[in-house]
A and B are shown apart, each in its own frame.
Chain A
């Protein structure tokens, strides 16, 4: 057991441990989960020299306030996040703290992650990683099934968060990552029940705007807009679900299934968000509007590889 730890002074709205997800067990009813914005998770890990799949803290809207009780830690925060570092006896380490940049926290410091700006999710990584127990090879928290660290719950006030490595030397790393949190054009592929919907409905689906409602979380994003007319059946024999699927419930409104989606489901799915746009859609907050654009499989694959290329360049920048 490590002796280095933070104490949670404020948990934030929805702060959970996440990595890249838990695979090969969906047939038992356990969905992969994992970070909502995996680009930011990977960059946060790379900045502190961790493996890309190391577990980090994911927060939404308001993040946690953490007091470093024991040890020193090298950290990085990614996203569009307003945060401060308070030093004991001294007010503040500096005026401005930037995302995509490493910092050393010293024993007694308090890290206060105040808010994600014009976005939803942000990530806190720590060099050497948090001390967490894996379940099926992952530390991702799946609150609905009580799986993952902290008994599968989001973190609570007063929780002690242990980390592995005491670290005082900041070989500072900074990287430029352009978040585009205003881009609301979400590219999709045809879903398995695309033809369950009337031609007119399908046209409307791609022409009209869908508003993100407050009923949006790690499990799904409920949208409001042109209701889709189902001409076959509003129920199908339950089948496996993958993240990004856009299902249409009986009332005709779409739900985009997010990281903590159900493992199987019986609603028809009109479309699926392409992998290259999944992180983007997770960062759109309630009230914003989405426009869906249909692409072909080969294009979706190309966009995915282009995004991987961009990430690889970012990793190289950090390693140099």
Chain B
């Protein structure tokens, strides 16, 4: 399952699952991530203090005052693919989205660049079942895939200084939601009334690596209603 496992710092290793970016490889990454987090006692005894899944890598940070790289690598190498239960407990979410051009700031330019009408962009995006490859960049920010080739775009030449919070945006085969106002270079296609990260909640992040997401198209009227309800 692992191509290589090696140190990237004296308190961290990287597990390399290969160079391709696809769900099959990423599901193994998330599988190992979940496996480590399920075996809390071992995790604690080994001084593991962070596991960071990405497309095809898993970075593990550990406390060198408790453990050395040798024991960590030995433990990780002992994890077999058959131990993983990654697809059985995948969380599923339905996230409302409003594709009104007031929020979908780049629908028009995607339409021109990809020679595809806006209705078709919305339709193709809306029927996609997304998968969260990883989270990062901002707290609660999901990197989801895969979009159909017809919707592939590149990053904006000049990133926006401010992408409004809750904007749904795409680049290449990926889709993301900005939890907060932030600079950003992705193409914005709509906006959700959902809060992706709420500090005061027990589980602040709505999504997790490995989650499954389906967007549900809503009208501007419903969007405004939901948003005012969420802000109460």
A-side residues, CB < 8 A to B, are 23-30, 32, 135, 145-147, 189, 191-192, 237-242, 244-245, 262-264, 269, 272, 274-275, 297, 300-301, 304-305, 308
Whether A239 pairs with B14 at a CB distance below 8 angstroms is yes
Cα(A135)–Cα(B198), bound, Å:
12
Cα(A7)–Cα(B42), bound, Å:
45
Whether B56 pairs with A297 at a CB distance below 8 angstroms is no
CB A155 to nearest CB in B, in angstroms, measures 19
Which single residue of chain B is at the shortest CB-CB distance from A276? B10
Q: Given the interface contacts A23-B50, A297-B69, does A237 sit within 8 Å of B55 by beta carbon?
A: yes
Whether B59 pairs with A242 at a CB distance below 8 angstroms is yes
Which single residue of chain A is at the shortest CB-CB distance from B204? A28
Could you list 24 examples of A-B contacts with CB < 8 Å?
A26-B61, A27-B33, A27-B53, A27-B134, A29-B135, A29-B139, A29-B197, A145-B138, A146-B180, A192-B6, A192-B8, A237-B54, A239-B14, A239-B52, A239-B57, A240-B59, A241-B52, A242-B9, A262-B136, A264-B136, A272-B8, A301-B64, A304-B10, A304-B64
Whether A28 pairs with B205 at a CB distance below 8 angstroms is yes
CB B196 to nearest CB in A, in angstroms, measures 10
Q: Given the interface contacts A28-B140, A264-B54, does A191 sit within 8 Å of B49 by beta carbon?
A: no
- Report B1-34 CB contacts with A as 1/0, cut-off 8 Å: 0000011111110100001010000000000010
Q: Given the interface contacts A189-B10, A245-B9, A300-B10, does A27 sit within 8 Å of B56 by beta carbon?
A: no
Which of B6, B135, B138, B199 touches A135 (beta carbons < 8 Å)?
B199
Which single residue of chain B is at the shortest CB-CB distance from A303? B10
Given contacts A147-B199, A238-B136, 17 further A-B contacts (CB under 8 A): A24-B50, A25-B50, A27-B135, A27-B208, A29-B140, A32-B50, A146-B180, A191-B8, A237-B54, A237-B55, A240-B14, A242-B9, A245-B9, A263-B135, A297-B10, A304-B64, A308-B65
Which of A26, A275, A304 touches B50 (beta carbons < 8 Å)?
A26
Cα(A276)–Cα(B53), bound, Å:
26
B58 interface contact, C-beta 8 A: yes
CB B136 to nearest CB in A, in angstroms, measures 4
Whether A29 pairs with B141 at a CB distance below 8 angstroms is yes
Q: What is the predominant secondary structure among interface residues of chain A facing chain B?
A: mixed
Which single residue of chain A is at the shortest CB-CB distance from B50? A26
CB A185 to nearest CB in B, in angstroms, measures 17
CB B116 to nearest CB in A, in angstroms, measures 27
B68 interface contact, C-beta 8 A: yes
Cα(A304)–Cα(B9), bound, Å:
12
B145 interface contact, C-beta 8 A: no
Most buried by A among B14, B19, B21, B136: B136
CB B56 to nearest CB in A, in angstroms, measures 6
The 4 closest A-B pairs by CB, nearest first: A240-B52, A240-B59, A264-B136, A300-B10
Cα(A240)–Cα(B21), bound, Å:
15
Which single residue of chain B is at the shortest CB-CB distance from A269? B8
Which single residue of chain B is at the shortest CB-CB distance from A274? B10
Cα(A32)–Cα(B52), bound, Å:
12
B83 interface contact, C-beta 8 A: no
Most buried by A among B9, B136, B208: B9
Which single residue of chain A is at the shortest CB-CB distance from B8? A192
Cα(A30)–Cα(B50), bound, Å:
11
Most buried by B among A242, A269, A300, A305: A242
Residues on B with beta carbons closer than 8 Å to the beta carbon of A242? 8-9, 11-12, 59, 61
Residues on B with beta carbons closer than 8 Å to the beta carbon of A275? 9-11, 64
Whether A272 pairs with B9 at a CB distance below 8 angstroms is yes
B190 interface contact, C-beta 8 A: no
Which of B9, B19, B51 touches A27 (beta carbons < 8 Å)?
B51
Whether B9 pairs with A237 at a CB distance below 8 angstroms is no
Whether A238 pairs with B54 at a CB distance below 8 angstroms is yes
Which single residue of chain B is at the shortest CB-CB distance from A273? B9
Which single residue of chain A is at the shortest CB-CB distance from B20? A237
**Residues in B101-155 with C-beta less than 8 Å from chain A:** 134-141, 143
Cα(A28)–Cα(B208), bound, Å:
7
Cα(A147)–Cα(B204), bound, Å:
12
Which single residue of chain B is at the shortest CB-CB distance from A23? B49
CB B2 to nearest CB in A, in angstroms, measures 14
Residues on A with beta carbons closer than 8 Å to the beta carbon of B193? none
CB B140 to nearest CB in A, in angstroms, measures 6
Cα(A297)–Cα(B180), bound, Å:
39
Residues on B with beta carbons closer than 8 Å to the beta carbon of A263? 52, 135-137
CB B94 to nearest CB in A, in angstroms, measures 21
